[in-house]
Amino acid sequence: MSAYQSSFSELVLVTRSETNPSILLAPIREAILESDPNLAPSNVMTLQSIVREQSLMHRAITSILTVFAVTAMALAALGIYGVIAYAVGQRTKDFGIRTAVGATEGNIMALVLRQGIRLVAVGCFIGVIDFLGIHQFLRNLVYGVTALDPLSLVLASITLLAVTLIACLLPAPK
């Protein structure tokens, strides 16, 4: 079939080279113009440039999702700290009574840690269940990481548990 009969509005020429392909862009453009001066090679580029251009949207979405994820983790960490610090602050009379009847600092610290970690463990469990519900949506957006990446889930949970430990240790009575 002749190129004049083709339904495509563009013709594509692909060449393979053993040298750096960007060096060949100008000679290829000149060779096309020499063969037919009516042709206007307007978009001569390397395959690497085409792939980079085609993946730009996915990289942008991934970058935006990364910013949202880091922001969400920071907000979760601040929220956990705030809730636990407030709960510990509200129980200072309770801790005083426990200390008066013989509880040691270690007992009170263990109580605060147990309650804080229990709350965050339940929250992490609910978060993982929620994530499993939306993983189909995320599967196509994140390059190089499967939607059910156990490492990401474990790291997020460990991060929140570590923040919980810090949040329990700082405001707890000493």
Q: List, for residues 2-50, the tens digit of each pLDDT value.
A: 656 666 667 777 778 888 888 888 888 888 888 888 877 777 788 888 8
Q: Where are the domains of the chain?
A: 3-52, 55-169
Distances (CA, A) of 140 to 1, 59, 63, 156: 38, 12, 14, 20
8 Å CB contact between 20 and 46:
no
Q: State pLDDT tens for residues 40-76.
A: 777 778 888 888 888 888 888 888 988 998 898 889 8
Rounded to 10 degrees, the C-alpha dihedral 22/26/30/36 comes to: 60
Q: Cα angle vertex 72, ends 68, 78, to 5°?
A: 145
8 Å CB contact between 95 and 173:
yes
Backbone angles phi, psi at 85, to 5 degrees: -60, -40
Position 110, amino acid: A
d(CA 134, CA 123): 17
Helix (H, G, I), strand (E, B) or coil at 43: coil
Tokens linked to 81: 């700290």
Q: How does the average pLDDT of the chain come out, rounded? A: 80
The sign of the CA dihedral 154, 156, 159, 161 is: negative
Specify the pLDDT at position 158.
Answer: 86
Q: State pLDDT tens for residues 82-128.
A: 888 888 888 888 888 998 999 898 888 888 888 888 888 888 888 88
Rounded to 10 degrees, the C-alpha dihedral 8/10/15/20 comes to: -150
d(CA 15, CA 32): 13
